[in-house]
């Protein structure tokens, strides 16, 4: 299994990444376009000594994750737009209770039931906390099957390093696309992971609790300050890909599958002599603000392309504020994005 | 005169004043849980799942490891714990608003899957913490802040008998209803608590125990009247007894 190239869907790559990251509990509910993840888990996770439960709803699924994660076990769920919306209360609880886990959102078109086709309309939800209260969750956005695998492993490490839920955000293109994948040997989890906080083995005055309720005067303020410190520390984990931006006059900012499609466009337009480059945020939170700002300092212009009606463009504008602005082109959710429309949009922005 | 100690606090009950109202029976329910687990030497193996409602601060009073579940979701959280830690003793402690209203989906499915967990269900026929609103367990004619004319079946449906509903599910190994309004009933409750944990410990299925308890504040009664209400009004509609006691495990 290890060190050999296999041909898998993005959803399977995520599932394999989780398994190789030492997953002990998967809890999920069927929703298109991510069903290959629970299907894979139902077979392979029990074989690897973990627990798989098909929950009765996304509400139950995320709360099963909460339970397993509170004992320090590596646990996850996966879903898509509407299901992720249902999970938000518990994600907020886990952010407040500092419970590490991984939540995968293979995005589909919205709002509402929308459609089962690909889109990137959950960017705001993924990067602004998504539920109630002041919290953020690190959010990683792969563009290839290999990246989906690698970032799933990274997501677990980040979750435990900072005791926080971590989101992995893909879309129907990534989930359903097949590509070669290099799978690595499973990681050996340190048995002491979470030993200083996990439940199961203390009682009496030293018993532990995982909770987000703080009624005593000043206590919640303390917790919020600590969370904000954590989010500041997480800023050091910003990830991005910078492709041919050095001498570019126009930098196109795009993430996930859209970033990948844009990359082809950039290559084609470069061949025709246009000075364009791609900046692809890989961590949507923390947003790679400084790297983008550095590009703004050197006088670049920006075009943000997304498969939604304009969400990440807000973060781009915040990053370059006072120095530059960003144009926006949005592929319509409900339609499959077309490389030609992106190329045309980039060309227009160059004019 | 030499003195003999007639009673000591069981170690897993914290020696602190609680926030519960005078006459509230959460304290009795807490002690029943702690006395069983301490008596069996299971405290260090126990993980409890607290819920939302008056008992949200359970971890201040019961000294077991605890995770706080969002409203209604305790059985799902317990499922996650037990499935990944089969060697632990896991119980949820839920009120009637939490379990029988918003959490109906989670309790039904955890029970149907036969999760090896114990569910302690405190039924006082009302939402306590939020100030006395109508619950799914509120009796016909009972006045609450959201049923000011009294609950009416044509408008609000009938009160839900959870112990019987649980007994109907094959995954449930033990289901009983007891009351906390008299010494005799508390003795029965103690026994039911033991059976509800044994269902889990003997790997037979889910153990469910419903405790009829007072809420003097929201019933607008004193403690004595509240105890009398359990006898006169609750028990006639919510009969006490064991509705399910399956000694065989439900393994496939």
pLDDT, tens digit, 9 for 90 and up, residues B112-126: 999 999 999 999 999
Contact of A55 with chain B, judged by CB distance below 8 Å, is answered with: yes
A151: helix, strand or coil: helix
Question: Based on the number of CB atoms within 10 Å of its own CB, is B41 exposed (0-12), middle (13-18) or buried (19 or more)?
Answer: exposed
The pLDDT confidence band at residue B247, using thresholds 50, 70 and 90, is: confident
A232: helix, strand or coil: helix
Which residue in the block uniquely carries the two structure tokens 């098909």?
Answer: A54
Directed axis angle between helix B104-112 and helix B74-84, to 10°? 30
Instruction: Pick the residue of B9, B52, B69, B76 with the most A CBs within 10 A to test the interface with A by mutation.
Output: B76
Structure tokens of B207?
């153990």
Interface of A with B in 90-129 (CB under 8 A): 90, 93, 97
Inter-chain contact A203–B80, Cβ cutoff 8 Å? Answer: no
Contact of B88 with chain A, judged by CB distance below 8 Å, is answered with: yes
Residue B24 reports pLDDT greater than 90: yes
Q: Which of B64, B80, B105 sits opposite A67 (nearest CB)?
A: B80
Output the pTM of the full model.
0.97
- Torsion sign (Cα): B5, B9, B12, B14: negative
Distance between CA atoms of A292 and A315, rounded to whole angstroms? 10
The pLDDT confidence band at residue A252, using thresholds 50, 70 and 90, is: very high
Inter-chain contact A200–B70, Cβ cutoff 8 Å? Answer: no
Phi-psi region of B157 (alpha: psi -120 to 50; beta: other; left: phi over 0): left
Q: How far is CA A345 from CA A74, A259, A302, A327, B176, in A?
A: 43, 14, 12, 10, 68
A331: helix, strand or coil: coil
Contact of B131 with chain A, judged by CB distance below 8 Å, is answered with: no
Q: Which of B70, B83, B88 sits opposite A93 (nearest CB)?
A: B70
Residue A1 reports pLDDT greater than 80: no
Is the peptide bond between A252 and the residue preceding it cis, with omega within 30 degrees of 0? no
From the CA of A206, how many Å to the nearest CA of chain B? Answer: 8
pLDDT, tens digit, 9 for 90 and up, residues A74-114: 999 999 999 999 999 999 999 999 999 999 999 999 999 99
Inter-chain contact B81–A67, Cβ cutoff 8 Å? Answer: yes
The pLDDT confidence band at residue B250, using thresholds 50, 70 and 90, is: very low
Structure tokens of A308?
């939604």
Mean of the pLDDT values across residues A10-35? 98
Q: Note the pLDDT of residue A4.
A: 79
| A161 in Cβ contact with A153 (< 8 Å) | no
Contact of B56 with chain A, judged by CB distance below 8 Å, is answered with: yes
pLDDT, tens digit, 9 for 90 and up, residues A270-287: 999 999 999 999 999 999
Find how far residue B8's CA is from the centre of its chain: 24
pLDDT, tens digit, 9 for 90 and up, residues B34-75: 999 999 999 999 999 999 999 999 999 999 999 999 999 999
Interface of B with A in 145-204 (CB under 8 A): none
Distance between CA atoms of B44 and B54, rounded to whole angstroms? 25
Q: Note the pLDDT of residue A351.
A: 85
From the CA of A205, how many Å to the nearest CA of chain B? Answer: 6
Contacts of B135 (CB under 8 A, 6+ apart): B96, B97, B100, B101, B125, B126, B127, B144
Could you tell me which chain B residue has the CA closest to the CA of A204? B63
Q: Which of A63, A69, A199 sits opposite B76 (nearest CB)?
A: A63
Contacts of B83 in chain A (CB under 8 A): 25, 51, 53, 64, 68
Residue B249 reports pLDDT greater than 70: no
Nearest CA to A257 among A221, A282, A277, A234? A282
Query: Pairing state of beta strands A139-140 and A165-171?
Result: parallel
Question: Based on the number of CB atoms within 10 Å of its own CB, is A26 exposed (0-12), middle (13-18) or buried (19 or more)?
Answer: buried
Contacts of A97 in chain B (CB under 8 A): 67-68
Mean of the pLDDT values across residues B130-139? 97
pLDDT, tens digit, 9 for 90 and up, residues A108-155: 999 999 999 999 999 999 999 999 999 999 999 999 999 999 999 999
Query: Pairing state of beta strands A209-210 and A240-243?
Result: unpaired
Distance between CA atoms of A292 and A330, rounded to whole angstroms? 20
Contact of A194 with chain B, judged by CB distance below 8 Å, is answered with: no
Contact of B68 with chain A, judged by CB distance below 8 Å, is answered with: yes
Contacts of B101 in chain A (CB under 8 A): none
The pLDDT confidence band at residue A190, using thresholds 50, 70 and 90, is: very high
Mean of the pLDDT values across residues B141-170? 97
Q: Which of A63, A201, A202 sits opposite B69 (nearest CB)?
A: A63
Contact of B54 with chain A, judged by CB distance below 8 Å, is answered with: no
Instruction: Pick the residue of B11, B50, B69, B77 with the most A CBs within 10 A to test the interface with A by mutation.
Output: B77
Structure tokens of A88?
């938000």
Which DSSP letter does residue B101 get?
Answer: I
From the CA of A182, how many Å to the nearest CA of chain B? Answer: 29
Distance between CA atoms of A184 and A166, rounded to whole angstroms? 22
A326: helix, strand or coil: strand
Q: Which of B64, B68, B109 sits opposite A211 (nearest CB)?
A: B68
Inter-chain contact A208–B65, Cβ cutoff 8 Å? Answer: yes
Looking at every residue in chain B, the average pLDDT score rounds to: 96
Q: In what helix (H) or strand (E) does residue A260 lie, and over which residues does it extend?
A: helix A256-271
Distance between CA atoms of A98 and A90, rounded to whole angstroms? 12
Inter-chain contact B59–A207, Cβ cutoff 8 Å? Answer: yes
Residue A3 reports pLDDT greater than 90: no
Contacts of A24 in chain B (CB under 8 A): 84
From the CA of B236, how many Å to the nearest CA of chain A? Answer: 34
Q: Note the pLDDT of residue B252.
A: 47
Q: In what helix (H) or strand (E) does residue B154 lie, and over which residues does it extend?
A: helix B153-156
Contact of A70 with chain B, judged by CB distance below 8 Å, is answered with: yes
Inter-chain contact B105–A210, Cβ cutoff 8 Å? Answer: no
Contacts of A69 in chain B (CB under 8 A): 80
Report residue B171: phi and psi, to 5°. -75, -10
């Amino acid at each position: 299994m290890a060190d050999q190239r296999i041909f898998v869907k993005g959803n399977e790559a995520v599932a394999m990444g989780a398994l190789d990251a030492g997953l002990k509990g998967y809890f999920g509910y069927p929703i298109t376009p991510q069903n290959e993840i629970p299907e894979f888990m139902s077979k392979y996770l029990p074989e690897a000594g973990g627990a798989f439960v098909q929950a009765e709803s996304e509400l139950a699924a995320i709360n099963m994750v909460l339970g397993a994660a509170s004992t320090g076990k590596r646990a996850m769920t996966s879903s898509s737009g509407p299901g992720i919306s249902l999970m938000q209360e518990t994600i907020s609880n886990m952010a407040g209770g500092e419970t590490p886990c991984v939540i995968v959102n293979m995005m589909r078109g919205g709002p509402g039931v929308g459609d089962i086709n690909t889109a990137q309309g959950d960017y705001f939800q993924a990067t602004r906390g998504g539920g109630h209260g002041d919290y953020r969750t690190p959010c990683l956005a792969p563009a290839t099957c290999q990246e989906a695998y690698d970032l799933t492993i990274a997501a677990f490490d980040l979750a435990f390093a900072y005791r926080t839920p971590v989101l992995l955000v893909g879309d129907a293109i990534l989930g359903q696309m097949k590509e070669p994948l290099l799978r690595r040997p499973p990681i050996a989890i340190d048995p002491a992971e979470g030993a200083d906080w996990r439940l199961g083995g203390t009682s009496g005055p030293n018993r532990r609790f995982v909770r987000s309720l703080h009624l005593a005067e000043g206590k919640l303020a303390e917790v919020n300050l600590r969370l904000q410190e954590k989010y500041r520390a997480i800023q050091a984990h910003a990830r991005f890909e910078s492709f041919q931006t050095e001498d570019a006059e126009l930098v196109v900012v795009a993430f996930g599958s859209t970033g990948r499609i844009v990359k082809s466009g950039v290559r084609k337009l470069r061949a025709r002599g246009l000075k364009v480059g791609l900046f692809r945020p890989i961590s949507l939170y923390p947003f790679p603000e400084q790297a983008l700002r550095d590009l703004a300092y050197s006088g670049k212009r920006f075009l943000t392309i997304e498969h939604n009606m304009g969400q990440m463009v807000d973060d781009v504008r915040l990053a370059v504020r006072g120095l530059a602005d960003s144009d926006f082109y949005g592929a319509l959710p409900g339609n499959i994005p077309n490389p030609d429309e992106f190329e045309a949009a980039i060309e227009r922005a160059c004019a | 005169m030499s003195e003999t100690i007639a009673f000591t606090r069981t170690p897993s009950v914290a020696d602190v004043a609680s926030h519960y109202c005078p006459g509230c029976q959460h304290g009795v329910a807490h002690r029943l849980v702690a006395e069983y687990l301490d008596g069996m030497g299971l405290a260090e193996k126990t993980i409890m799942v607290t819920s939302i409602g008056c008992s949200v601060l359970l971890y201040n009073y019961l000294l077991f490891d605890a995770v706080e579940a969002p409203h209604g979701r305790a059985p799902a959280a317990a499922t996650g714990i037990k499935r990944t830690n089969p060697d632990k003793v896991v119980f949820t402690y839920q009120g009637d608003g939490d379990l029988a209203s918003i959490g109906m989906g989670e309790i039904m499915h955890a029970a149907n899957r036969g999760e090896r967990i114990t569910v302690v269900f405190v039924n006082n026929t009302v939402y306590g913490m939020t100030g006395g609103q109508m619950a799914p367990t509120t009796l016909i004619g009972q006045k609450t802040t959201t049923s000011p004319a009294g609950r009416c079946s044509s408008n609000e449906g009938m009160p839900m008998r959870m112990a019987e509903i649980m007994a109907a599910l094959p995954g449930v190994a033990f289901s009983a209803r007891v009351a906390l309004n008299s010494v005799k009933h508390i003795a029965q409750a103690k026994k039911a608590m033991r059976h509800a944990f044994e269902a889990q410990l003997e790997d037979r299925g889910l153990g469910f125990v419903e405790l009829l308890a007072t809420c003097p504040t929201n019933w607008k009664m004193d403690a004595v009247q509240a105890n009398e209400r359990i006898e006169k009004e609750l028990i006639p509609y919510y009969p006490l007894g064991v509705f399910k006691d399956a000694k065989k495990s439900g393994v496939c």
